[in-house]
Amino acid sequence: MLVSFEWQLFIGQKWVSIFNDFVIEAHYCQPGANGITINLNMGPAYIDFDEMTVDGPLVNFSVRRNTLLSYNQKEVMGWYYKDNHRWCEYGSQGSDGRSSLIRSDYLEQKYNSNPRGSVQFTVGSMTYMVDFTAMTQTNLSTRMLRKVRRRPKFNEVVTDNSSNQNSSPSLASPSANPTNSSSQHIWEFMGDEGIWTEYQKPGCSLDSAEIERLYQLNPQCQVSFTARRFSYTLYFGGMYQVNNKYGTKRAVRRIASGIQQTNSTLSQAHWQFMDMDGQWKDYMKGGSQGHCSVSSQDIEVRYQQDSTGTMGFRAGRFSYELDFSGMTQTNLSTNTRRPVRRLQS
């Protein structure tokens, strides 16, 4: 069975498909391939397969590889280490004539259970550790370090025909807009400032509707996607996402769209803080004064979810914490505290 894949470049304001991308795919599936140079109308561009970045005639290029598999399918992944002269798949014979007892499928299982973790194994009298975050293999006796790569097998997928609901097939980013997507829920991740941020295009290769559709297919699956120049994996079972390069983990949530968009309580509630001049001021998102990262409605959404909790936000160059229990906001740099109030119109 052929895998439906598509390689795309982000140029300007949109993602565009790369012509004859099966050539890129064939190279990408080779463990020894560092990257490939493709010819564009504006000149040659080099795709780095390890970093998933593009060096080309224009700045701010991004690249992504999209596939869409059924809920019971997943790509066959190969795991390789750099031997003295070549890339060897785990389980095959290396240049020293020995082979490890672990295979690609074992490493893939361990990786899917914890992409930031590691696994140890022995070959003869030597013990090795594979670090998934650094993508390296270390001989724990000699400290010799080798590079590790994880690449798909060209046009290979496996299908699980069982009805076991505990299985966790991997779904990669769709290459086209989904049909009949549910609009009843939105998906958000916890941003740097403690602000819940919705998955949206074009910055992200997936949006809420697409994630929700994949979630409906299998609430226990894993979804791969790209955001700017990084690739991520979203774990529905644990409700978190992981940066595949750095291992950074962020919380993810799924909320009813009515909570954020149609609940009349949100539009009626009004949040204000007392400014330094003693006047009550509205929380206004963006704008020329303060550049606040949240609005009254954003605050009300969080308040409705946890009326005794806290919420982080930014205004100008400062970070703040809003305490719903104490009805105060605190500047985290200066510790200046100001009263906050919630008005019901």
- pLDDT, one tens digit per residue, over 250-301 is 888 888 765 444 344 444 678 899 988 888 888 887 654 557 888 888 788 7
DSSP state at residue 117 = -
What pLDDT is recorded for position 263?
41
Tens of pLDDT along 162-219?
544 444 444 444 443 433 434 578 888 887 655 678 888 877 888 888 888 888 877 8
Phi first, then psi: give them for residue 124, nearest 5 degrees. Answer: 65, -125
Average per-residue pLDDT for the chain: 80
What pLDDT is recorded for position 341?
93
pLDDT band at 57 (very low <50, low <70, confident <90, very high): low
- 314, containing H or E segment: strand 310-315
Domain boundaries, the chain: 1-67, 76-155, 161-257, 263-344
What pLDDT is recorded for position 191?
72
Pairing of strands 136-139, 53-55: unpaired
Distance CA 71, CA 132 (A): 25
Q: What value does the CA radius of gyration of the chain take, rounded to a whole number of Å?
A: 24
- CB burial of 332-344 (b: ≥16 within 10 Å; e: otherwise) equals eeeeeeeebeeee
What pLDDT is recorded for position 95?
61
CATH topology of domain 1-67: 3.30.720
Position 318 pLDDT exceeds 80: yes
What pLDDT is recorded for position 167?
42
DSSP string, 231-291: EEEEETTTTEEEETTT--EEEEEEEEHHHHHT-HHHHHEEEEEE-TTS-EEE--BBSSSS-
User: pLDDT exceeding 90 applies to what percent of the chain?
Assistant: 23
What pLDDT is recorded for position 179?
39
CATH topology of domain 76-155: 3.30.720
Tokens of residue 247, six digits: 């291992």
What does the chain come to in residues? 345
DSSP state at residue 18 = P
DSSP state at residue 60 = S
Q: Residue range 100-114: average pLDDT?
A: 88
Residue in the block written with tokens 């270390």: 138
Position 142 pLDDT exceeds 70: yes
What pLDDT is recorded for position 96?
63
Residues 6 or more apart whose Cβ sits within 8 Å of residue 164: none
Domain 161-257 sits in CATH 3.40.30.10 = no
C-alpha dihedral (101, 102, 105, 106), degrees to nearest 10: 130
In this structure, CATH architecture of domain 263-344: 2-Layer Sandwich (3.30)
Topology alike, domains 1-67 and 76-155: yes
Report the sign of the C-alpha dihedral through residues 2, 159, 135, 251, in that order.
positive
Predicted structure pTM score? 0.48
